[in-house]
A and B are shown apart, each in its own frame.
Chain A
C-alpha cells in the first residue's frame, strides 16, 4: 500500500545544511498499523511530512498504492499533534469535519452522512454544533480524527497525535485508534516518541535512529489482536517487546 524507497531529506537555508533523514526504506501493507518510534528530534515529523506529500524529499520516493506521491494525495489523511491549531476555530465541529469533503466535490447528502458517521464513531455525535475551543483537548483530537475518517483515506498518517493530552485521555484515544483500525480496515502509520504506545498500538514497530534518520530495526508485535489497557500492558510479551524497543531507542540516542 505504502512504499518508501531511499527517502532522503536535507534542509538547506541561511548557509546551514541539515540532513534530517538519511536513507529510509520501508513499506506498509494494506490494512496494517505500523508505529514509528525514535528518539526525540530524530526527524519523525519530517519523514511523515514527506510521506504525506507536504514536503518534497531531496532524494528517494514515496508511493501510495503504486502511484508516486508528489503532493498531498486524496487517499491520505493527516492527524497532527497540535489539534488546537489544526482545527479551525472559526468553524464549528461539523464544518471542520465537512470542509475537506467539499473539496472532494461530494454531494451535500453524502457529506452529511460521512460527517455524522465519523463523529458518531469517535463518540462526539452531539458536538457537531459546538466550536472546537469549547471542547476539551481530548475531544478536540477526536474531532481531528473524525475529520480524517470522514475523508475516507486509504492511509491515515498520525504525527504524535496524543503527545499533548493527559495520560487517561491518551489511553482512551489509543483504544479508539485500535478500534477504528479494526472496524474500518484503514492502513495507519503512527509516529510517536512513546515506546509503550508504539508497542500497544502497532502490529509492527519501526525503530528509527537519531538524526540523520535510518531504520534501526523492525519488530513484529505478536500480541493478540484484541488488546486492552489493563491486560495487554501486563502481558509478559508486552514487557519483552517494550524492553527490546527501549534498548534500541536508548542505543539510538547514544548514536550507536
Chain B
C-alpha cells in the first residue's frame, strides 16, 4: 500500500513537470515569463555549482534556524509561565489577542529602522511570526492537564517544579510539537520574505537579484529550492514529532490488549 502510494506520488510529480515543459513549448504561456521545465532544471544545475548560491542557502537557513530557536524557547517559557502564575493568563489574554494577528511583514519598516539589512532584521521578523504559533499551542496544551494526573502527582508529594516537569510538560508536548511544526513553516516564509524585501543576504535576496537582472529561469530555480526546503522542513519536524510522541495516542494508534 505504501509502495503504491509513493509510486502514485512520483507519477503525479512527473505529470506536473511534463505540463511545465509542454505548456510554454506549445505557446500557451509566454516562454520569457514561464520558461519550460528543462530550462529551469538547467538553471538549477548552474545554481548548485555556484558557491554564492550555497552561501545564500546557508544565510537563509541560519536566519530560519536561529529565529525558530529563539521563537520556540521564548514561546515555551512564556507559555508555561503565563499558565502557571495565577491570574497571568487573564491579564495577558487581551494583549496576546491584539499582538498575535499583526502580520510580521508589517514590522519590516521597524526591522529596517532598527537593524538595517543585518541578520538581526531577519531574526526579528522570523521570531515574531513563529513565537505566536508556539505560544498559543503551549497555552492550549497546558490547559489539557488531566485533573486526575495532577491530583496523583500532588498526592505523591510532587512539588511545583516536579509537576511542571513530569505532568504539565509531557501533557503539553503534543501541542508544542504542533506549534513547532507550524512555526518552522512560518519561519521559512518570513526568512525568505525578509531577504526579498529588505535585501538581507540569502535566497530571497538572490531571487530579487535574478528578477531584476531578467534571469527568469534562475529565479524559478531558486523558487523551486525554497519549495524543496519547505518540504524537507515539514518532513523533518514530523519525524521529530513521531519520535518525541511515541507514547501519544496520535502516534501509537489503538493498542489491542
Q: Report which A residues bind B (CB closer than 8 A).
A: 49, 52-54, 72, 74, 76-78, 80, 82, 85-86, 88-91, 99-100, 103-104, 131, 133-136, 147, 151
Contacts and interface: CB of A to CB of B under 8 A. Distances in A.
A70 to B, nearest CB: 13
A126 B159 CA distance: 30
30 contacts: A52-B155, A53-B155, A54-B151, A54-B154, A72-B155, A74-B157, A76-B155, A77-B155, A77-B156, A78-B156, A80-B151, A80-B152, A82-B148, A85-B148, A85-B149, A86-B149, A86-B152, A89-B249, A90-B170, A90-B248, A100-B156, A103-B156, A103-B157, A103-B158, A103-B159, A131-B247, A133-B255, A135-B257, A136-B257, A147-B156
Chain A to chain B: the 9 pairs with minimum beta-carbon distance, closest first = A100-B156, A85-B148, A78-B155, A90-B170, A86-B152, A72-B155, A90-B247, A136-B257, A82-B148
Interface of B: 146, 148-149, 151-152, 154-159, 162, 166-167, 170, 173, 247-249, 252, 255, 257
A89 B152 contact: no
Contact of A100 (B146, B158, B170): B158
Contact of B252 (A91, A103, A133, A135): A133
B28 to A, nearest CB: 55
A228 B173 CA distance: 46
Contacts of A103: 156-159, 162
Q: Among A52, A72, A77, find the residue whose CB has the most chain B CB atoms closer than 10 A.
A: A72
Contacts of B157: 72, 74, 100, 103-104
Q: Is the interface of A mostly helix, strand, loop or mixed?
A: loop
Nearest to B173: A90
Contacts of B156: 72, 77-78, 99-100, 103, 147, 151
Contacts of A133: 247, 252, 255
A76 to B, nearest CB: 7
A147 B156 CA distance: 10
A77 B146 CA distance: 19
A194 B90 CA distance: 43
A134 B142 CA distance: 25
A86 B146 CA distance: 9
A53 B157 CA distance: 11
B155 A88 contact: no
Contacts of A104: 157
Contacts of B255: 133-134
A52 B154 CA distance: 10
Contacts of B170: 88, 90
